[in-house]
Structure 1
Amino acid sequence: MSAETEQKLSTLVSSAAQDVSALVRGEIALAKAEVRQDVKEAATGGGLFGAAAVLGVFALIMLCFAAAYGLHATGLGLAWCWLIVAGAFLLVAGVCALIGLARFKRIKGVAATKRSTSRTLTMLRRVDG
Protein backbone atom coordinates (compact mmCIF):
# COMPACT_ATOMS: atom_id res chain seq x y z
CA MET A 1 0.00 0.00 0.00
CA SER A 2 1.35 3.40 -0.89
CA ALA A 3 1.91 6.18 1.63
CA GLU A 4 -0.71 8.32 -0.09
CA THR A 5 -3.33 5.55 0.18
CA GLU A 6 -2.46 4.99 3.83
CA GLN A 7 -2.84 8.71 4.54
CA LYS A 8 -6.23 8.81 2.75
CA LEU A 9 -7.36 5.74 4.66
CA SER A 10 -6.13 7.24 7.94
CA THR A 11 -7.99 10.50 7.20
CA LEU A 12 -11.13 8.57 6.28
CA VAL A 13 -11.01 6.49 9.48
CA SER A 14 -10.34 9.60 11.57
CA SER A 15 -13.24 11.43 9.93
CA ALA A 16 -15.55 8.45 10.49
CA ALA A 17 -14.51 8.26 14.16
CA GLN A 18 -15.22 11.97 14.61
CA ASP A 19 -18.62 11.59 12.93
CA VAL A 20 -19.54 8.62 15.13
CA SER A 21 -18.39 10.53 18.21
CA ALA A 22 -20.50 13.56 17.22
CA LEU A 23 -23.47 11.29 16.54
CA VAL A 24 -23.14 9.62 19.95
CA ARG A 25 -22.84 13.02 21.69
CA GLY A 26 -25.93 14.21 19.84
CA GLU A 27 -27.89 11.11 20.84
CA ILE A 28 -26.85 11.55 24.47
CA ALA A 29 -27.93 15.21 24.39
CA LEU A 30 -31.28 14.21 22.88
CA ALA A 31 -31.78 11.54 25.54
CA LYS A 32 -30.98 14.05 28.31
CA ALA A 33 -33.47 16.54 26.88
CA GLU A 34 -36.17 13.88 26.65
CA VAL A 35 -35.53 12.71 30.22
CA ARG A 36 -35.65 16.30 31.49
CA GLN A 37 -39.01 16.78 29.77
CA ASP A 38 -40.34 13.48 31.15
CA VAL A 39 -39.20 14.38 34.68
CA LYS A 40 -40.93 17.75 34.38
CA GLU A 41 -44.15 16.08 33.23
CA ALA A 42 -43.93 13.49 36.02
CA ALA A 43 -43.37 16.18 38.65
CA THR A 44 -46.33 18.17 37.38
CA GLY A 45 -48.51 15.06 37.28
CA GLY A 46 -47.39 14.06 40.79
CA GLY A 47 -48.19 17.52 42.13
CA LEU A 48 -51.62 17.43 40.56
CA PHE A 49 -52.29 13.95 41.98
CA GLY A 50 -51.24 15.26 45.40
CA ALA A 51 -53.63 18.20 45.10
CA ALA A 52 -56.39 15.85 44.01
CA ALA A 53 -55.74 13.61 47.03
CA VAL A 54 -55.89 16.54 49.47
CA LEU A 55 -59.08 17.86 47.91
CA GLY A 56 -60.52 14.34 47.91
CA VAL A 57 -59.86 14.01 51.65
CA PHE A 58 -61.58 17.36 52.30
CA ALA A 59 -64.51 16.26 50.15
CA LEU A 60 -64.73 12.98 52.07
CA ILE A 61 -64.88 14.88 55.36
CA MET A 62 -67.65 17.08 53.99
CA LEU A 63 -69.53 14.00 52.78
CA CYS A 64 -69.27 12.50 56.27
CA PHE A 65 -70.90 15.59 57.73
CA ALA A 66 -73.55 15.56 55.01
CA ALA A 67 -74.29 11.87 55.60
CA ALA A 68 -74.54 12.29 59.37
CA TYR A 69 -76.78 15.36 59.13
CA GLY A 70 -78.82 13.69 56.39
CA LEU A 71 -79.47 10.74 58.69
CA HIS A 72 -80.26 13.19 61.49
CA ALA A 73 -82.93 14.75 59.27
CA THR A 74 -84.77 11.39 59.34
CA GLY A 75 -85.29 11.81 63.06
CA LEU A 76 -82.41 9.79 64.49
CA GLY A 77 -80.30 11.31 67.23
CA LEU A 78 -77.15 13.05 66.04
CA ALA A 79 -74.87 10.75 68.05
CA TRP A 80 -76.43 7.66 66.44
CA CYS A 81 -76.04 9.24 63.01
CA TRP A 82 -72.31 9.80 63.60
CA LEU A 83 -71.94 6.21 64.83
CA ILE A 84 -73.67 4.91 61.71
CA VAL A 85 -71.36 6.94 59.45
CA ALA A 86 -68.29 5.82 61.42
CA GLY A 87 -69.48 2.22 61.26
CA ALA A 88 -69.89 2.48 57.50
CA PHE A 89 -66.33 3.77 57.20
CA LEU A 90 -65.03 0.96 59.41
CA LEU A 91 -66.89 -1.57 57.27
CA VAL A 92 -65.36 -0.15 54.07
CA ALA A 93 -61.92 -0.07 55.74
CA GLY A 94 -62.32 -3.72 56.79
CA VAL A 95 -63.27 -4.80 53.27
CA CYS A 96 -60.29 -2.89 51.87
CA ALA A 97 -57.99 -4.52 54.44
CA LEU A 98 -59.27 -8.01 53.58
CA ILE A 99 -58.82 -7.41 49.85
CA GLY A 100 -55.33 -6.02 50.49
CA LEU A 101 -54.41 -9.01 52.62
CA ALA A 102 -55.61 -11.38 49.91
CA ARG A 103 -53.47 -9.51 47.37
CA PHE A 104 -50.41 -9.74 49.63
CA LYS A 105 -50.92 -13.48 50.02
CA ARG A 106 -50.78 -13.82 46.22
CA ILE A 107 -47.24 -12.42 46.11
CA LYS A 108 -44.89 -15.20 45.10
CA GLY A 109 -41.68 -13.23 45.05
CA VAL A 110 -39.15 -13.98 42.38
CA ALA A 111 -39.96 -17.66 41.93
CA ALA A 112 -39.45 -17.65 38.15
CA THR A 113 -36.10 -15.90 38.53
CA LYS A 114 -35.01 -18.41 41.18
CA ARG A 115 -35.94 -21.33 38.90
CA SER A 116 -34.17 -19.78 35.92
CA THR A 117 -31.04 -18.98 37.92
CA SER A 118 -31.00 -22.46 39.40
CA ARG A 119 -31.25 -24.03 35.92
CA THR A 120 -28.51 -21.77 34.61
CA LEU A 121 -26.19 -22.63 37.50
CA THR A 122 -26.90 -26.34 37.02
CA MET A 123 -26.04 -26.13 33.33
CA LEU A 124 -22.87 -24.12 34.04
CA ARG A 125 -21.77 -26.73 36.58
CA ARG A 126 -22.29 -29.47 33.97
CA VAL A 127 -20.15 -27.59 31.46
CA ASP A 128 -17.37 -27.04 34.02
CA GLY A 129 -17.44 -30.60 35.34
Structure 2
Amino acid sequence: MPYTLGEISNQGQELVPNSWKTLTINRVDLISGAGSYTATVYLTLEAPAGATIQGRFYHRRANGSRWDGPIVERLTTPGLSFVDFTHTGSISKGETVRFEVSYGPDALDDTTHALLHTARARGLYWK
Protein backbone atom coordinates (compact mmCIF):
# COMPACT_ATOMS: atom_id res chain seq x y z
CA MET A 1 0.00 0.00 0.00
CA PRO A 2 1.61 3.30 -1.04
CA TYR A 3 1.85 6.42 1.09
CA THR A 4 1.18 9.80 -0.52
CA LEU A 5 3.45 12.80 -0.77
CA GLY A 6 1.49 16.03 -0.95
CA GLU A 7 3.26 19.19 0.15
CA ILE A 8 2.90 22.83 -0.91
CA SER A 9 4.78 25.98 0.02
CA ASN A 10 3.61 29.44 -0.95
CA GLN A 11 6.48 31.17 0.83
CA GLY A 12 8.36 33.27 -1.69
CA GLN A 13 11.99 32.25 -2.05
CA GLU A 14 14.68 34.04 -4.03
CA LEU A 15 16.94 32.02 -6.31
CA VAL A 16 20.42 33.46 -6.70
CA PRO A 17 21.90 33.02 -10.18
CA ASN A 18 24.12 30.00 -10.81
CA SER A 19 23.80 28.41 -7.39
CA TRP A 20 22.02 25.28 -6.14
CA LYS A 21 19.36 25.70 -3.45
CA THR A 22 17.74 22.85 -1.53
CA LEU A 23 14.05 23.66 -1.35
CA THR A 24 11.95 23.44 1.77
CA ILE A 25 8.43 22.45 0.76
CA ASN A 26 6.99 22.44 4.30
CA ARG A 27 10.07 20.39 5.21
CA VAL A 28 13.49 19.77 3.68
CA ASP A 29 13.21 15.95 3.69
CA LEU A 30 10.39 15.21 1.27
CA ILE A 31 10.50 11.43 1.80
CA SER A 32 12.06 9.37 4.58
CA GLY A 33 11.73 5.80 5.76
CA ALA A 34 10.77 4.54 2.30
CA GLY A 35 12.13 1.83 0.04
CA SER A 36 10.99 3.23 -3.30
CA TYR A 37 9.20 6.31 -4.58
CA THR A 38 7.98 8.32 -7.51
CA ALA A 39 7.74 12.08 -7.03
CA THR A 40 7.26 15.29 -8.96
CA VAL A 41 8.10 18.84 -7.89
CA TYR A 42 6.11 21.63 -9.56
CA LEU A 43 7.46 25.18 -9.39
CA THR A 44 5.82 28.51 -10.19
CA LEU A 45 8.48 31.15 -10.59
CA GLU A 46 9.26 34.52 -12.03
CA ALA A 47 12.51 34.95 -13.95
CA PRO A 48 13.64 36.67 -17.14
CA ALA A 49 12.42 34.88 -20.28
CA GLY A 50 14.96 32.42 -21.66
CA ALA A 51 16.57 31.68 -18.30
CA THR A 52 17.45 28.09 -17.41
CA ILE A 53 15.97 26.32 -14.40
CA GLN A 54 17.67 23.07 -13.41
CA GLY A 55 16.30 20.67 -10.83
CA ARG A 56 17.32 17.35 -9.32
CA PHE A 57 16.29 15.03 -6.55
CA TYR A 58 19.05 13.81 -4.26
CA HIS A 59 19.37 11.30 -1.45
CA ARG A 60 20.89 12.45 1.81
CA ARG A 61 22.56 9.61 3.66
CA ALA A 62 22.69 9.28 7.45
CA ASN A 63 26.44 10.08 7.40
CA GLY A 64 25.81 13.40 5.59
CA SER A 65 27.00 12.26 2.16
CA ARG A 66 24.65 12.32 -0.80
CA TRP A 67 23.67 10.63 -4.03
CA ASP A 68 22.62 13.03 -6.81
CA GLY A 69 19.89 12.17 -9.26
CA PRO A 70 20.02 13.35 -12.87
CA ILE A 71 19.72 17.06 -13.60
CA VAL A 72 16.67 18.10 -15.63
CA GLU A 73 16.55 21.47 -17.40
CA ARG A 74 13.64 23.79 -18.22
CA LEU A 75 13.50 27.23 -19.89
CA THR A 76 11.48 30.16 -18.57
CA THR A 77 8.87 32.11 -20.51
CA PRO A 78 7.67 35.74 -20.22
CA GLY A 79 5.69 36.34 -17.03
CA LEU A 80 5.31 33.40 -14.68
CA SER A 81 6.86 30.06 -15.61
CA PHE A 82 5.48 26.69 -14.55
CA VAL A 83 8.09 23.93 -14.52
CA ASP A 84 8.07 20.34 -13.30
CA PHE A 85 10.66 17.74 -12.35
CA THR A 86 9.88 14.03 -11.92
CA HIS A 87 12.03 11.24 -10.52
CA THR A 88 11.52 7.59 -9.60
CA GLY A 89 13.97 5.80 -7.36
CA SER A 90 14.75 3.65 -4.40
CA ILE A 91 16.45 4.66 -1.19
CA SER A 92 18.44 2.77 1.39
CA LYS A 93 17.70 2.61 5.10
CA GLY A 94 18.51 5.95 6.74
CA GLU A 95 18.40 7.96 3.51
CA THR A 96 16.00 10.80 2.82
CA VAL A 97 14.91 12.38 -0.46
CA ARG A 98 15.39 16.09 -1.06
CA PHE A 99 15.04 18.40 -4.07
CA GLU A 100 17.25 21.25 -5.21
CA VAL A 101 17.00 23.86 -7.94
CA SER A 102 19.42 26.14 -9.78
CA TYR A 103 18.63 29.26 -11.81
CA GLY A 104 20.80 30.51 -14.67
CA PRO A 105 19.97 33.81 -16.40
CA ASP A 106 20.08 33.97 -20.19
CA ALA A 107 22.96 36.50 -20.12
CA LEU A 108 26.14 35.61 -18.24
CA ASP A 109 26.46 39.08 -16.68
CA ASP A 110 22.81 39.18 -15.49
CA THR A 111 22.62 39.19 -11.68
CA THR A 112 18.81 39.34 -11.47
CA HIS A 113 17.38 36.91 -8.91
CA ALA A 114 14.48 34.64 -9.79
CA LEU A 115 11.49 34.59 -7.46
CA LEU A 116 9.98 31.23 -6.60
CA HIS A 117 6.29 31.82 -5.80
CA THR A 118 5.03 28.28 -5.19
CA ALA A 119 6.62 24.84 -4.80
CA ARG A 120 4.57 21.64 -4.74
CA ALA A 121 5.73 18.07 -4.17
CA ARG A 122 3.43 15.22 -5.19
CA GLY A 123 4.03 11.50 -5.38
CA LEU A 124 3.82 8.02 -3.92
CA TYR A 125 6.27 6.06 -1.82
CA TRP A 126 6.43 2.56 -0.43
CA LYS A 127 7.90 1.46 2.89
**TM-score of the aligned structures, taking structure 2 as reference length:** 0.16
- Kindly indicate which of the two structures has a greater share of residues assigned to helix: 1
Tell me: higher relative CO, structure 1 or 2? Use CA pairs within 8 A at least 6 residues apart: 2
Of the two, which has the highest radius of gyration? 1
